[in-house]
Amino acid sequence: MSDDKKNKPTKKKHRAALELVSTPEKTDRIIRIALKEFDKLSEAKDRWNKFCQNKLFALIDNANKSLADDQKIETLQIFTVDGEFKVNLSVQITKELDGRAELAKAKIQEFLDEYENKTQELDENTTLIISFLKSLFFGKIRTIRFTPQLMDFIKMEESKIKDSRLKEAQVLLKNALHIDKSQRYVNIYQNTPEGFKNYPAKQ
């Protein structure tokens, strides 16, 4: 590619439009200023992200270190002393199940098949367990997803699970659960006569 083609738009109408409003030297200056401003913006963004992680979200992370799993927080509101500003912090965690969930599903299904084929009347506890286990499955292919019911099963006391297959399924699901990704969000609000509005609020 020639030097002439390297520093000009490839489309003729673009070149014609640019010639109406600028010169090559002026365009060059605009681009170089834009690069400097972009670098400043990138540096500011990096500083902001580090501040959020090390100061703002440290409030949630440090609190969670002292809390039980079922009490950990994913959102937090903080305020300035005068009440003029509010910051909302939120952590969105996506949890997934790996291949061990399929092994657990097979064991649960084996248990369900055995009891559903029995002709004698089942006791109330077994009936409740069967109904609960069915709630773990979704769709025609009966997949297991991360749901509140799944967490209830994982946290269920061992004494309540009599069948060895269900005990194995519980362990498999507990080990299969992992955090796929975690996203963190910060929203800043300013108090106005009409209530809190996104910062900076127009007065």
Q: What is the arithmetic mean of pLDDT over 128-146?
A: 76
In angstroms, rounded to a whole number, what is the distance separating the alpha carbons of residues 80 and 87? 9
Whether 156 shows a pLDDT value over 50: the answer reads yes
| Least confident among 17-21, 25-29, 44-48, 63-67 | 17-21
* Per-residue model confidence (pLDDT) at position 1: 47
In this predicted model, what pLDDT tens digit does every residue of 92-118 receive, in sequence order? 877 778 888 888 888 888 888 887 776
Exposure string over 167-195, b if 16+ CB within 10 A, otherwise e: eebbebbeebbeeeeeebeeeebbbeeee
Sign of CA dihedral 185, 191, 197, 199: negative
* Per-residue model confidence (pLDDT) at position 180: 67
| Least confident among 27-41, 74-88, 137-151, 179-193 | 137-151
Q: What is the arithmetic mean of pLDDT over 170-182?
A: 82
* HEC per residue, the chain: CCHHHHCCCCCHHHHHHHHHHCCHHHHHHHHHHHHHHHHHHHHHHHHHHHHHHHHHHHHHHHHHHCCCHHHCCCEEEEECCCCCEEEEEEEEEEEEECCHHHHHHHHHHHHHHHHHCCCCCCCHHHHHHHHHHHCCEECCCCEECCCHHHHHHHHCCHHHCCCHHHHHHHHHHHHHEEEEEEEEEEEEEEEECCEEEECCCCC
Q: What is the arithmetic mean of pLDDT over 38-55?
A: 96
Whether 143 shows a pLDDT value over 80: the answer reads no
- The pLDDT mean for the chain works out to 85
Residues 6+ apart with CB under 8 A from 140: none
pTM over 0.75: no
Longest dimension (CA), the chain: 91
